[in-house]
Chains A and B, each alone.
Chain A
Amino acid sequence: MPRSQYLGELELTILLALDRLDGPAFGMAVYDEIVTATGREMSAPTVYITLARLARKDYVKIVAPSSTSNRATKCFALSASGEAALAQSRRMLGALLKPRRRRA
């Protein structure tokens, strides 16, 4: 069972990037997506470490660990609970981003 229903900022960033990539992606592709989309300074290993943590939490599934090349590479994709957590976070953020009605 996942320890926390809430996503950390880094986790959220990576899940959003995975979502944008639309389908299984290599860790490097996730890194590139974050860097190009946000311009955010982040190291590649951190992306891998966070992806591994998300996989442990079951938000990300590892699809087809390919051994075709001599690199040990894995493809990551959103899992069902990952999609759910992302949706929940989006709702939460959306609600918060909406300007609050002023008091009368």
Chain B
Amino acid sequence: MMPAARWPYRAWMRMLIPADVRDEAMASLDHRVLEIAAAQGLTAARRWYRQQCLKRTGELLVTLRSQVLQTTRQILAEASLGVIWQDVRSAMRGITHAPAQAAVIVGVLAVGIAGTTAVCSVLSGILLRPLPYPDADRLALVWTFNTAENRRDGSSSLNTRDWVSRSTTLERLALYWRPEFTADTVLLGDRPVRVQTAIVESSFFDVLGVQAKAGRTFLPSDIASGTRPVIVREDFLARFGLSTASAIGQTLTVAGRPATIAGVVAAEVTLPTADTVLWRVFDPSPPGAMASRRDDTYVALIRVRQTFTRDAAAQEIRAIASTLAVEHADTNKDFSVEVKSLRDEVVGSRLEAVLWMLLAAVGLVLLIAANNAAHLLLLRSEHRRHEFAVRIALGAGRMRIIRQLTVEGLVLGVVAVVAGVAGGAGLLEVLLWLAPPDVPRLDQATFDVTVALAGAASALIVSPVFAVLPALTTARHADVVVLRSGSGRSTPERRRLTRFLVAAELTLAVVLLVETGLVIRSVRALGSVDPGFNARSVLVGRIDLPETYTPGARIVQFHDELRARLETIPGVNAVAAMGDVFLRRNPDQKIVVEGRDQQVAPPLTVELVTPGFIDALGLTLHEGRTLTSTDQLTSGQVGYVVINRAMADAFWSGESAVGRRFWWWSPAIDTSTDPGLRVAGVVSDFRRERLDEPPFPNAFVIMHMPSMDLAIRTAGLPEAVMADVDRLVREIDPGVALTGLAPAWNRFAGSVASRYFQVWLLGGFATLAIGLAVVGLFALLSQGVVARRREIGIRLALGAQPSAVRRLVVRDGLQLTAQGLAVGLAIAWCAARLTRQLLFEVSPGDPLTFMWVAVGVFLVAAVATSLPALRAGRLPVARIIQID
């Protein structure tokens, strides 16, 4: 028969009724509910049951309150300095009596406090602390979103002007160049450095609300003045030993042209990117007919009017964008917008996911720790029931014992808090030290006092409460029973609770272990990704030619000489230049393939290279031929390009690509007169910047540019020739800036490093979790053996084999493990799906990981089980029988 009351209320009610009358009371209530349901309907019956639950809860609270008040009053009445001191002393005695147990409890609590404090500090620094701009929540970035290709893109100045002029919610808007286009070589004095720069509209800093620390920010008149002012960041100046005040008016060379420092801003300005140190100004007013709405160069920084929310602004701009899509269907057909708050943009969704996962991990560990501490404290007091019974029999007041336990719990709690807070501060340092350098706003992470206080408070509450709980019942019930039974016999009730707690610990630990396993497998997969070229034997640096090198023969000549000279260095195999070896732009170039419809998707990226780039990067030529200096593109003649495997597969899958013809797409394309391009050869793919992102389709064309990456393939270690390369470049022309010379592998290490960070943290937490859970299991089983000493003794005395007794304990432990494991694996299976974003080439349900975790947990649990089991088999039978 289905009870009429809903199950959550029945479960609630069950908790409110003590075990001795539970069955009877529950049965009566169920019966009564049915009666009411029959007489007045189900709704009335359920209402009655709810009222019963509420009333009972209220009554329980009233009782509890009066009990607590009474106890406190009594304790306070008896307390004096001397008595407290005596309590502390006897508490210390109690603790030193079983130091290992006390140490474990303190350790468990301290670990929980330390872990939460450190991770929450990082989290609040990165995610919760406001950005260093006034009214930062009114700032947002607007991107064009290409709905046809499902990716976001830069915007055109024409479109953004329309957003502003038609909007009522925008206060201001400033454009800046997409940061991936704007790395520059800067020469201050005679030391060239390659830095991230920004090209921004003159109103950029005003929209951000940033004032100059010295000098000024940009003025609208800066464009016309021709002085080329730049704003630099304070920490950039420090690298050159320049003070903020003395820097104003200094000249430096940016991208081969002189510029003047007009102002200095604080190091906390991190827009467009965290490593931007220099801002240049530009005027986005459309240069006549050349301007296109398809231009994707700019990002729009907006400040929303005070009276509107960011969401309202986002909605309005989206509406404007869809109007524009109709008005300018030829260009804007597929354009929507993406509005992202500045905070989200700065922090990044992937990092946010990592941090939340970490917090979840810490939360789990803290749960396990608190759980474990409670359960250990329960066991500890449980063990001493006999001691209390004896003391009560000898005339100790019940209050005396409660007080002593409270003080003991408090002493343990205080030690744990001190250790935990110190540990948390230390752990924070370790986290900051381990963190990969590209984590934004990491400098904002400082020790979070609020979290530490909360952790401390919880420890100071948990420990005395759970220390006292068993004593309350001991003191209440007939003490004779405890005395007679000879040992602390736990009630079945409490045994069930502790068993549940231990199983829950195992469950949580399993969830963490699985997640860690998946991330470890991701990192391994990432480490074994072939970047497509031998990154460990390629040296990459940036070559910037001074302004005197005008595009044309002069640059070609320099590149030829550079190649010839560098290849004389022993150990250098091949040299070439390439627009950007590591910059992975969004594919933006569309092409028209001969014999197909116009505008074949997907788009690709065009890479500018000098002859010999295949050798210099160590790529493999799959078919066709490589390019030589005679393949420079000339208008009116057919051009030759080399394409990568991804492009060949995208456009000419299953057939040979060599000799195929295509055209760069443009609105004015005329395939009948334009000779177009032909594929000369196909090279292997290679990965750029991040190993965890697959290669795009690429076309390589010969082009000599004043600013290019230099790629040098070496026979041995690339570091060995670095000095020679540097010297030779300076010999050819001391005005040429060679910067950032480093082995290519270093660049990939960045993307691997952030994953190692995750592995370290998660691995640490998972180890902690399983360690805590196993301690819990061990304690539970040991206590079980002690509690069942008499039963086991009798069994042994009656001729049971020790092995049978051992099996009894082992079975108990493994059963518990199996339960925790089963539930844990099920939860982990669901949880892993939520963290898919953090995995690489590993499915969230990876069977190998799940299997290893299961086997591992079982083995560890077996070890934890075997010790109490061995002890059970070796119990001194004669003594037990004698005592009891």
Contacts and interface: CB of A to CB of B under 8 A. Distances in A.
Nearest to B16: A45
20 contacts: A26-B28, A27-B28, A28-B28, A28-B31, A28-B32, A41-B55, A43-B52, A44-B25, A44-B28, A45-B13, A45-B16, A45-B17, A45-B21, A45-B52, A49-B21, A51-B21, A71-B28, A72-B27, A73-B24, A74-B24
Contacts of B56: 43, 45-46
B32 A44 contact: yes
B23 A44 contact: no
A52 interface: yes
Interface residues of A, number: 17
A43 B49 CA distance: 10
A73 B55 CA distance: 23
Contact of A48 (B24, B31, B53): B24
Contact of B24 (A41, A46, A72): A72
A48 to B, nearest CB: 4
A42 interface: yes
Interface in B97-127: none
Contacts of A41: 55
Contacts of A27: 24-25, 28
A73 B26 CA distance: 10
A48 B31 CA distance: 14
A27 B32 CA distance: 11
Nearest to A42: B55
Given A27-B28, A71-B27, A71-B28, A52 B52 contact: no
B59 interface: yes
Given A27-B24, A72-B23, A44 B31 contact: no
Contacts of A49: 17-18, 21, 25
Interface string B4-30: 000000000100111011011101110
Interface string A16-55: 0000000000111000000000000111111011011000
Interface in B13-70: 13, 16-18, 20-21, 23-25, 27-29, 31-32, 52-53, 55-56, 59
- Among B20, B21, B23, the one with the most A-chain Cβ atoms within 10 Å of its Cβ is B21
Contacts of A72: 23-24, 27
B30 to A, nearest CB: 8
Interface in A63-80: 71-74
A44 B24 contact: no
Given A28-B32, A52-B21, A46 B27 contact: no
Nearest to A47: B25
A44 B36 CA distance: 14
A94 to B, nearest CB: 28
Interface string B55-96: 110010000000000000000000000000000000000000
A44 B27 contact: no
Contacts of A52: 18, 20-21
B55 A48 contact: no
A48 B17 contact: yes
In the A-B complex, the 5 residue pairs with the smallest Cβ-Cβ separation, listed nearest first, are: A43-B55, A43-B56, A48-B25, A71-B27, A48-B21
A48 B59 CA distance: 13
Contacts of A43: 52-53, 55-56, 59
A49 B25 CA distance: 8
Nearest to B27: A71
B480 to A, nearest CB: 12
Contacts of A44: 25, 28-29, 32, 52
Contacts of B28: 26-28, 44, 48, 71, 73
Contact of B31 (A42, A46, A71): A71
A51 B20 CA distance: 11
